[in-house]
């Protein structure tokens, strides 16, 4: 009996120990589960914080580089729309309130967007390779090959198809932009402007190439005010030359600002309140210097205001693209404009050449049907010509480089 009692006692004790072990294991597993949940929550919180930081860091100047193709697309579309408005005004054909507002406030801001993207592109290119010879060969080949080929073809069409008498000397003066100084004839004035800005760029780049942001701002204000004083003197004492080249002269302060922004875009600097205040102060400086000549301030003022608004639109677009509902629509919108932007230079040159031919042929370019057909032809020719242009540049570039190396020796 005693043995049986001892055995039963042992069994009960074993059961109690097993129950304790089970309870211990269960508590351990529950604590582990709780710990896992806590760590999972912490991970989620970290992810949310990182996402918030990403969204905050998106508010930087690097967006101008990210949406470079989109900006080029917007710029060439703006130029096409502006030229239509100008023709409707000149030919007194449906120059409505919309066209008045567009031509007055938007005006040629599309060209300023071209210059903005060019200034940023030049900064990035010069950062990669600061060799002046390579820089100038690449830039001038890229712009003058399409310019010269399209101009020569347009001149041949005018002579052989439209029977417009072409003087060889006059053609050379037009191609070299010499006529712009004396007659104000500047169908391709933008090519002259961008060529001059290419020449100026290395000097402006080195002028702003300092680490201290305060020094850079001081230099920006100093250089801008100096240029504006020179322009004021030119406007007062050489009014005819100034008015013949006013489209170019008025872009100099704007281009200086875009080169200044190049470093901020390259470093993806965050947009600060100070930057906005500096921009406002720069505008006030322009206004103070040119208070006696209100017509001079118009282009730089509207260029900076319109591009600031465009930049705000890009910031909004970049945020909206993260929303699932709008992401597809936004990506389609961006891709379409980027596709157009790829052919922006060719479209501009062909478009201006066709306008010149149309003017010689007495076409009513103010009509939507005529102008729309011309735009479609421009785009198709741009697609075809860019492939040809790339092949020409591939053949010519090495030869120009060899020739330049011979002169170096």
Residue 39 lies in a domain: no
pLDDT at 195: 92
Count of structural domains, the chain: 1
pLDDT beyond 60 at 201: yes
Q: Is the dihedral of CA 42, 44, 47, 52 positive or negative?
A: negative
As a whole number of Å, the CA-based R_g of the chain is 32
Place 363 in a pLDDT band, splitting at 50, 70 and 90: confident
In DSSP terms, which residues pair with 270 in a beta bridge?
Answer: 60
Is residue 26 a part of any domain in this protein? no
Confidence (pLDDT) at 280: 66
Q: Is the pLDDT of residue 238 over 60?
A: yes
Token pair, residue 171, equals 């053609």
pLDDT at 366: 82
What residues contact 7, with CB distance under 8 A and at least 6 apart?
none
* Range in 43-47, 245-249, 311-315 the model is least confident about: 43-47
Contact call for residues 149 and 159 (beta carbons, < 8 A):
no
Residue 108 DSSP symbol: T
Residue 50 forms part of a structural domain: no
403 pLDDT band (50/70/90 cuts)? confident
Return the sign of the alpha-carbon dihedral for residues 332, 302, 221, 189: positive
The two three-digit tokens of residue 372, written as one number: 């729309």
Is residue 202 predicted with pLDDT exceeding 80? Answer: yes
Q: Is 35 part of any domain?
A: no
Give yes or no for residue 205 having a pLDDT over 50: yes
Q: Return the pLDDT at 1.
A: 47
Q: Provide the domain limits for residue 134.
A: 58-408
The CA dihedral of 269, 270, 273, 277, to the nearest 10 degrees, is: 30
Tell me the pLDDT of the chain averaged across its residues: 79
Q: What are phi and psi of 163, to 5 degrees?
A: 60, 35
pLDDT at 235: 80
Q: Give a yes or no: residue 168 inside a domain.
A: yes
Tokens 């052919």 sit on residue: 343
The most confident of 101-105, 241-245, 339-343, by mean pLDDT: 339-343
CB 33: neighbour CB atoms within 10 A?
10
pLDDT for res 251: 87
| Alpha-carbon span 331 to 194, nearest angstrom | 31
Measure the CA dihedral 134/135/137/143, to 10°: 150
Q: CB atoms < 10 A from the CB of 407, how many?
A: 7
* Cα–Cα distance for residue pair 289/232, rounded to 1 Å: 8
Residue scoring higher pLDDT (87 or 20) = 87
Return left, alpha or beta for 184; rule: phi > 0 is left, psi -120 to 50 is alpha, else beta: left
**Percent of the chain's residues with pLDDT above 70:** 75
Return the ∠ at Cα 180 (arms to 144 and 80), rounded to 5°.
Answer: 65
- Per-residue model confidence (pLDDT) at position 141: 93
| Confidence (pLDDT) at 158 | 80
**pLDDT value for 26:** 52
pLDDT at residue 44 in the model: 52
Q: Phi then psi for 250, rounded to 5 degrees?
A: -70, -15
Most confident of 72-76, 303-307, 364-368: 72-76
CA angle 153, 155, 157 (to 5 degrees): 70
Phi-psi region of 163 (alpha: psi -120 to 50; beta: other; left: phi over 0): left
Mean pLDDT, rounded, for 169-186: 70
Average pLDDT over residues 245-254: 84
| Residue 52 pLDDT | 44
- Contact predicate 343/379, CB 8 Å: yes
- Mean pLDDT throughout 163-180? 72
pLDDT class for 56, splitting at 50, 70, 90? very low
pLDDT-derived band at 185 (thresholds 50, 70, 90) equals low
Q: What is the average pLDDT across 107-115?
A: 84
| Predicted pLDDT at 13 | 52
Its pTM stands at 0.79
Cα–Cα distance for residue pair 203/198, rounded to 1 Å: 10
pLDDT of residue 43: 47
């Amino acid at each position: 009996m005693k043995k049986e009692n001892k055995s039963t006692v042992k069994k009960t004790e074993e059961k109690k120990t097993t129950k304790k072990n089970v309870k211990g294991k269960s508590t351990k597993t529950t604590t582990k589960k709780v710990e896992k949940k806590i760590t999972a929550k912490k991970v989620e919180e970290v992810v949310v914080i990182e996402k918030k930081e990403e969204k905050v860091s998106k508010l930087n100047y690097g967006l101008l580089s990210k949406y470079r193709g989109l900006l080029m697309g917007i710029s060439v579309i703006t130029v096409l729309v502006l030229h239509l408005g100008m023709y409707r005004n000149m030919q007194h054909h449906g120059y409505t309130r919309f066209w008045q507002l567009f031509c007055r406030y938007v005006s040629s801001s599309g060209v300023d967007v071209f210059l903005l993207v060019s200034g940023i592109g030049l900064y990035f290119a010069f950062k990669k390779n600061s060799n002046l010879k390579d820089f100038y060969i690449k830039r001038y080949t890229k712009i003058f090959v399409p310019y010269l080929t399209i101009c020569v073809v347009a001149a041949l069409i005018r002579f052989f198809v439209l029977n417009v008498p072409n003087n060889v000397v006059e053609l050379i003066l037009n191609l070299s932009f010499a006529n712009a100084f004396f007659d104000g004839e500047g169908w391709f004035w933008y090519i002259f402007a961008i060529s001059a800005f290419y020449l100026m760029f290395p000097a402006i780049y080195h002028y702003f190439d300092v680490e201290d942001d305060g020094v850079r701002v001081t230099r920006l204000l100093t250089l801008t005010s100096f240029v504006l004083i020179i322009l004021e003197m030119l406007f007062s004492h050489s009014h005819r030359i100034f008015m013949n080249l006013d489209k170019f002269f008025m872009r100099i302060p704007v281009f200086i600002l875009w080169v200044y922004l190049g470093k901020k875009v390259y470093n993806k600097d965050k947009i600060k309140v100070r930057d906005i205040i500096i921009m406002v102060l720069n505008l006030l400086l322009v206004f103070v210097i040119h208070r006696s000549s209100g017509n001079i301030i118009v282009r730089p003022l509207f260029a900076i205001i319109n591009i600031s608004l465009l930049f705000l639109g890009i910031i909004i677009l970049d945020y909206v693209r993260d929303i699932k509902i709008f992401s597809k629509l936004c990506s389609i919108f961006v891709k379409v404009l980027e596709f157009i932007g790829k052919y922006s230079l060719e479209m501009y040159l062909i478009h201006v050449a066709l306008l010149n031919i149309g003017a010689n042929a007495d076409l009513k370019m103010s009509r939507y049907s005529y102008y729309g057909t011309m735009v479609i032809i421009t785009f198709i020719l741009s697609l075809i010509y860019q492939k040809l242009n790339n092949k020409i540049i591939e053949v010519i570039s090495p030869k120009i480089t060899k020739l330049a190396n011979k002169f170096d020796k």
